[in-house]
Amino acid sequence: MIKNLIFDFGKVLVDYDYFFIIDRIFSTHARALDFYTRLMGDKWTERFDREDIPFDSIIGQLQQAMPQYAAEIAQFALHYNDFVLGEVAGMRRLLTEKKAEGYKLYGLSNWCSKVYHTMAKYPIFSLLDGRVISSEDKIIKPEPEIYALLCDRYSLRPDESVFTDDVEANVEAARRFGLHAIQFKNAGQYESDLRAILSREGSLPRP
């Protein structure tokens, strides 16, 4: 029987777009695109997510690695949370309904320590019964240890839990760990896929 629903944050509970910020910071889209490509290609986002050293120290290292963008990187750090665009349509309603039905709701997110500003801003996060955030515990998805940490921390059985994430590698890692998992596209698709799992594995009795 499924008892627990586990959610990634970005692109699942809240939407985001880095270009919403960096297109405002850089003088041209070409420069913004070059910065973004270097940011992703050199895996700086993974360093922010793990945050082995403080956020500001990573920003300093990023400026050293890309001195031509030092001023823009300072602005990027200052406005880091502004790339979050709002809650994903339909998800607060869905989480509210599932919580009322008796399901426990948990968050499992790769995000730096700036996540707390986002969590304070959007009401959907108040529906969660617990969370594991990569920067708190220095583990990132899809490392199996992060799924184990969530289950250990909240005494969850993987076979009683459904995880959703927009990133295929994270979904596949969750399945290998033993969780039921859904690759997220939108609230309607998630609700349909969840219904299929609940029908197959058993759902909580209606309150």
Q: Is 185 left (phi over 0), alpha (psi -120 to 50) or beta?
A: alpha
CATH number at residue 163: 3.40.50.1000
Tell me if 207 is assigned to some domain. Answer: no
Tell me if 121 is assigned to some domain. Answer: yes
Boundary residue ending a domain (52, 83, 114)? 83
Same domain, 53 and 64: yes
pLDDT single digits (tens) 168-200: 999 999 999 999 999 999 999 999 999 999 999
> Which of 97-111, 144-158, 192-206 bottoms out in mean pLDDT, i.e. has the lowest?
192-206
Boundary residue ending a domain (83, 108, 125)? 83
pLDDT single digits (tens) 40-73: 988 999 999 999 999 999 999 999 999 999 999 9
Rg (CA), the chain: 18
One-letter amino acid at 172 equals E
Boundary residue ending a domain (83, 114, 129)? 83
The torsion angle over the Cα atoms of residues 10, 11, 13 and 14, rounded to 10 degrees, is 70
Same domain, 117 and 190: yes
User: ∠ at Cα 130 (83, 187), nearest 5°?
Assistant: 55
Same domain, 119 and 165: yes
Domain housing 174: 4-15+86-201
Same domain, 58 and 110: no
Residue 207 has pLDDT above 80, yes or no: no
Same domain, 139 and 113: yes
Same domain, 92 and 168: yes
Domain count, the chain: 2
Q: Cβ(131)–Cβ(153) under 8 Å?
A: no
